[in-house]
Amino acid sequence: RRRATRDARRVCACACAFACACMRMPKDPIAKNGSASASSASSSAGAGPSGTWAAVYDELRGHQCLSSVLNDPRGKGLQRTKWTGVSDLFEAVGEIATDIADAREEEASGSVDLAVVARTDALIGDVPELPDFQPYLETFQELWDVYHKATCRGKSREKRDSGNPFDGAEDAEAHRGVPHEYFSSDFKLEHHAIFKQSLQTSVERQGDLNEELTGYVDLIEVSLFQEIRQAQRDQVFDSLAKLNEPLQDDLQSTLAVLADLRGQLKSVQRLQLRNGLAVGRLARRKQRTEEVLQRLDTLMHVQQSQPSIQMLLQGHDYITALDLLDTTTSALDSHLKGLTCVRAGATRLANLVGTFDRSVEADFVHHSAEAILSSAATGSSSSSSSGVGRSGMDAPSTSAVALTVMPGRVELQGVDRLTSLCWCLSRRDLLRQTLSESVRDVVLSQLKKVLKTRSRKLIEELSPEAVAAAKAVVEAASAAAARAATPGGGGEGEAQGSPRELPLASPTAAAEGEAAQRAAGEGPSALSVMLCALSFESFLVFWRLMLQDCLEVAMRFCEYAALIASSVASLSLEETSGELGPEGELLRLFEVVMNSYLQKLGVLLQARQSEHKSLKAHDWRKLLKLSYDALDKVRRLQDQCRQRLNLKESFSGTDVRTPIRSILYAQTKHIIEEFDKLCTEKLDCSLEQERWERTDVPSQYKAILDKLMGKELRLELDPADQGVERYLHVEGVHFLVVPAVLTLIQLLNDYVQLCREFESLPEVVVQRLCNLLKLFNGKMHQLVLGGQAVQRQNLKKITASNLALCSQSCGLVAQVLPNLQAHLERMFAVDPKTPGGSSGAPSRHAVMLLVGELSRIAGEYTVHRTALFDKLSDLLLERYVVHSKKWLTTPHAEIKDNSDAALWGEAPVENATLNSHEVLEGFVKDITNMYRVLLKNLTGDSVRHIFAKAFEDIAVKFEQRISQEMVAPSPPYSERLGRTLGDRLALDIVFMREQLEKASGISTPLQRLLADLVHHLRTHYMSSDDPLRALHPAVIETLQRLKRLPC
């Protein structure tokens, strides 16, 4: 039963395979395939025994199988022609064998070794001939006839049943309606045409596509069903089942032959390899013996090298010791690796390596510190070489303050020793670590001691008095500390004091004790006392020498860094271990050392901060110039060191000048603030004492003003020939001045000079300058316009002369400030072409913004001046208001005689009596006095401006009054020509014109005033209904004809 089930499964599988082969088989045979089969059969029949079993075996085993022959979709092999009998099948098999033989022969002619082919033919035998397959074909000849007959009956039946939709040939060929791409072996779903169109089109055609694919599946199912049904009718499955057992027998016999061949091959291989194995064992034994002898020699070398290494370390021969260490270590790591007997020796060698590293590192650090700090430690800039001595310290010359730089390159101590030590550290991968840790720490610690010793030595050489003063302070502090530390040390009187006094005195005594301990010690406090006792000139020499030492240390470090870098670069590739170069660590060490050096110098500079506050600007400028020159040289040395090291890796360094620049900035700012405080106090004192009276201008102020505005100075005036002038000339304009303005000009010049001297803080100086200008303007406004000068009893009252001189002061400052601004802009302009011009661009930009503030301040002075002019105009208006109250309210005097007849006759007289109002004489006098005062203190343009505004306001006031109801009593007014109110007012205007025509400086504003007054009279009185008030046109015409009124 099991066997029947297994056979049934095999028959079903064969049926399915056969059905698929039938579906792929072409419908009509091709003529040329038939001819090819015939030619192949003939060629195979004539083939001789030159074919080999190897080629056939390869083809059958690796390339051909039953399914590949039956299911070949290309119509090759057994499917090339239709079979009508066993003879056709025999011819097809022969054609296949002939094709395989031909293909193998072609391959053998090109690439197969003939010797290999000969040995294979001798081992396997000749290739079977075509007749040798005849017994195999006769085994299923009867079954083949049955199969052929069934196939023929099936085809005839298909023709008869062609009307049946499920039995005809059309149903068997229904799958041909499916596109050929679905049957292609390389067909993939992603290659379908639906994925080449848009998503919208696919969604819209989804139904049609589903119907189309469903139809294809139905066609395939119909074709498959028809083929299976036809195979059942033709008993194809039964015939294949009968062929199963003969095929299995053939395969089993073939496997038996192959197993026999494999056994024969193994026996041959054993015979050939036995002798080779024996020879290999002997060679391996010999090699191992040689390795044992070599390890014994190496072990002896390792044991003997350790005492030698110790002797070399004691003799400081580090290079030889390192070579011996390297060879010994490499022997342990290579030839003796894994041996138990060398563990103790390896431990001792590791200890020797540690001792070597520590010794080399300590020696390298010591020599590095000596090479870098040798100049500062020995005091190369000694008193003998720098001109320092007791006799020359009272008044050091300017040349003694200048920095000197040693020409060329300095020589380091122990160059050869440093080179050898550097080689050893570099080969041990310890150079970068030693530079970044040990060398840094030792150099910084020794630097502090060196600077302290050097400072004390210089102070003792420069000023023994300072040392004596410092000792006195220390002794006094020590005595105070002793008294504070001793209970009841104040004496019996103090001991008998009340107990309440002791707690009050204890904190003070403790503080004094602490100060004494600090002063008596060797800390910076004692050194600060000595520094503060130095004069500024002595300190300047001290500072120069300390900066000189700093520059020499920087130069020595550059040489040291170049030496280390060149030593590492000189090592060969075999000696170096591939670590990064020391250039980056050397640059960092340079920054650390110089930063620490400059910080400690800054501490010395800060110790004298209180003494420097009272310095003058030109004295402090010496120290600034000295300091900035030294700092710039340090910066250049830093750049030079970077260039000489030729650093390949990215390195972002810092500016080592920053700490001491900050200290210099702070102290310079304090000096500027102190200077500004003194200038402010001086200006306040000058304004408080100002009486606003004109003063003469000394001749030197002309040079000061030119210098202030940046003009080229003329020849210096001889002090004996210096005189005074009435005016101060600015750009062709003459200004009267008061003492406070001269003080301001002198102070402004001092500020500009301070800007030149303190180039590092121009923004601070310019800011203080602007504040001073604002202060002066505000104070002037409060004193004059605000009336504080009267409140403080400097003046009894504010007169027009005071106002005019104050306006002159404002005009002078407003005229000077644009020139001062242009001068400062030229002074602080940044030239991008100059080296370092762009480095200070942000600071210069801030300075330019502050300098631009001067334009706004000049505008404030102009506004103040305008306010003063308006005040003078208001004074004139006030005098008019006072006089107009009587002029336009009180009637004119009555004309009792005919004194005015000469004006209105047939021949008018020009100098006839006008009979003007008596009040006008006072008004004209006030105008004349104001004109004289202003013309004496102001320019003509300013006077005209003041009177023009005042006359405009007077004309407005006049129009407002005459537009109101005015009383014209009779007498003195009558209807006669020249006797009405309007006529008398016209004559008053003529009177003012004749009295004021001598004031030529205000002729234009005066003519405009008279024209406005006449115009207002005509407007309001020419057409008046009151005959007593009416203005006769003849009066105006007559006066204009006589040129006594403007036309």
Give ∠ CA 814-820-824 in degrees, rounded to 5: 150
SS3 letters for 851-864? Answer: HHHHHHHHHHHHHH
- Looking at residue 856, what is its pLDDT? 94
Helical axes 501-520 vs 464-485, angle rounded to 10°:
140
SS3 letters for 914-926? Answer: CCCCCCHHHHHHH
Which is nearest to 406 in space by CA: 295, 548, 275? 548
Q: Locate 57 and state its tokens.
A: 């075996």
The neighbouring-strand residues paired with 208 are none
User: What is the Cα 932 distance to its own chain's centre?
Assistant: 67
How far from 1016 is each of 367, 548, 860, 891, 958, CA to CA, in Å?
106, 87, 38, 19, 8
Amino acid at 1018: R
What radius of gyration do the chain's Cα atoms show?
63
Phi and psi at residue 735, to the nearest 5°: -130, 130
Burial (CB count <10 Å: 0-12, 13-18, 19+), residue 512: buried
Give ∠ CA 674-678-683 in degrees, rounded to 5: 145
How far from 186 is each of 65, 74, 182, 183, 219, CA to CA, in Å?
21, 14, 9, 9, 22
- Looking at residue 91, what is its pLDDT? 63
Count Cα atoms within 13 angstroms, Cβ side, for 891.
16
How far from 86 is each of 91, 137, 138, 145, 243, CA to CA, in Å?
9, 8, 9, 8, 15
- Looking at residue 44, what is its pLDDT? 38
Q: Locate 324 and state its tokens.
A: 């011996």
Distance from C-alpha of 854 to C-alpha of 862, rounded to nearest angstrom: 12
Distance from C-alpha of 689 to C-alpha of 794, rounded to nearest angstrom: 7
Which is nearest to 164 in space by CA: 213, 212, 229, 211? 229
- Looking at residue 49, what is its pLDDT? 39
Which is nearest to 477 in space by CA: 512, 445, 523, 525? 512
The pairing of strands 724-725 and 697-698 is antiparallel
Spans of the chain, pLDDT less than 50: 1-6, 8-53, 56-57, 59-80, 111, 162-167, 381-400, 406-407, 489-524, 573-574, 576-578, 715, 717, 720-721, 834-840
Q: Locate 820 and state its tokens.
A: 């001062």
Distance from C-alpha of 594 to C-alpha of 172, rounded to nearest angstrom: 101
Distance from C-alpha of 33 to C-alpha of 71, rounded to nearest angstrom: 18
- Helix, strand, coil percentages, rounded to 5, for the chain: 75, 0, 25
**Would you give the DSSP letter of residue 796?**
S
Helical axes 739-757 vs 658-688, angle rounded to 10°:
170
Distance from C-alpha of 79 to C-alpha of 34, rounded to nearest angstrom: 11
Which is nearest to 76 in space by CA: 56, 100, 47, 54? 100
Q: What is the largest CA-CA distance in the chain?
A: 185
Phi and psi at residue 540, to the nearest 5°: -65, -40
Distance from C-alpha of 710 to C-alpha of 824, rounded to nearest angstrom: 8
How far from 524 is each of 535, 948, 1001, CA to CA, in Å?
19, 74, 75
Specify the residue for token string 């009185």.
Answer: 1021
Distance from C-alpha of 585 to C-alpha of 435, rounded to nearest angstrom: 6
Amino acid at 394: D
- Looking at residue 954, what is its pLDDT? 94
Give ∠ CA 384-388-390 in degrees, rounded to 5: 115
Q: Locate 429 and state its tokens.
A: 């991968």
- Looking at residue 640, what is its pLDDT? 87
Which is nearest to 708 in space by CA: 661, 740, 642, 755? 755
Residue 594 and residue 653 in contact, taking contact as beta carbons nearer than 8 Å? no
- Looking at residue 377, what is its pLDDT? 55
Residue 884 and residue 955 in contact, taking contact as beta carbons nearer than 8 Å? no
Which is nearest to 553 in space by CA: 367, 361, 379? 379
Give the list of residues 6+ apart from residue 544 with CB closer than 8 angstroms, or none.
Answer: 386, 400, 401, 402, 403, 626
Q: Is the C-alpha dihedral spanning 746, 747, 751, 753 positive or negative?
A: positive
Which is nearest to 480 in space by CA: 533, 516, 441? 516
Distance from C-alpha of 799 to C-alpha of 934, rounded to nearest angstrom: 11
Element at 734 (helix H, strand E): strand 733-735
Q: Other CB atoms closer than 10 Å to residue 339's CB: what's the count? A: 14
Distance from C-alpha of 501 to C-alpha of 705, rounded to nearest angstrom: 64
Distance from C-alpha of 454 to C-alpha of 459, rounded to nearest angstrom: 9
Q: In 102-169, at which residue ranges do the beta strands (DSSP E only) sit?
A: none
- Looking at residue 646, what is its pLDDT? 79
Burial 816-834 (b: 16+ CB within 10 A, else e): bbebbbebbeeebeeeeee
Distance from C-alpha of 594 to C-alpha of 638, rounded to nearest angstrom: 9
3-class secondary-structure state, position 698: strand
Which is nearest to 172 in space by CA: 228, 116, 112? 228
User: What is the Cα 431 distance to its own chain's centre?
Assistant: 32
Residue 144 and residue 89 in contact, taking contact as beta carbons nearer than 8 Å? yes
Distance from C-alpha of 624 to C-alpha of 620, rounded to nearest angstrom: 6
User: What is the Cα 918 distance to its own chain's centre?
Assistant: 84
Distance from C-alpha of 62 to C-alpha of 65, rounded to nearest angstrom: 8
Residue 538 and residue 393 in contact, taking contact as beta carbons nearer than 8 Å? yes
Distance from C-alpha of 429 to C-alpha of 578, rounded to nearest angstrom: 9
Count Cα atoms within 13 angstroms, Cβ side, for 112.
16
Give pTM, 2 decimals.
0.59
Specify the residue for token string 């100086």.
Answer: 765
Distance from C-alpha of 1028 to C-alpha of 975, rounded to nearest angstrom: 5
- Residues composing the chain: 1047
Residue 381 and residue 549 in contact, taking contact as beta carbons nearer than 8 Å? yes
Residue 464 and residue 390 in contact, taking contact as beta carbons nearer than 8 Å? yes
